[in-house]
Amino acid sequence: MNKSELASAISKQTNLTKADVERVIASLIDVTTGTLKSGGELNLVGFLSAKVSRRKATKGRNPRTGEPIDIPAKNIVKIKAGKSLSDAVN
């Protein structure tokens, strides 16, 4: 399901216009991005939680040449499904 299909499905369930739902989804993405970027966490109890974690710099190998390479440190987003979501899909 892509963003447009999600907006259509929510629109049908809530009787809101698709344009209104698309604005809400865009706002959700902006707020979530800003929260994680500033070091905060997102917790939607029962659905999911997301937080930023730091991945250390490591050494690796180029699979084509076997040449050693440096993999730089970077921030990654870790997302964990909540219990209700996990139970629903199992």
The reply to whether 35 and 56 lie within a common domain is no
Task: State the residue range of the domain holding 7.
Answer: 1-39
Per-position pLDDT tens, the chain of length 90? 999 999 999 999 999 999 999 999 999 999 999 999 999 999 999 999 999 999 999 999 999 999 999 999 999 999 999 999 999 999
The reply to whether 45 and 85 lie within a common domain is yes
CA 84 to chain CA centroid, Å, is: 18
The reply to whether 48 and 85 lie within a common domain is yes
Q: Taking the complete model, does pTM exceed 0.85, yes or no?
A: no
The reply to whether 47 and 85 lie within a common domain is yes
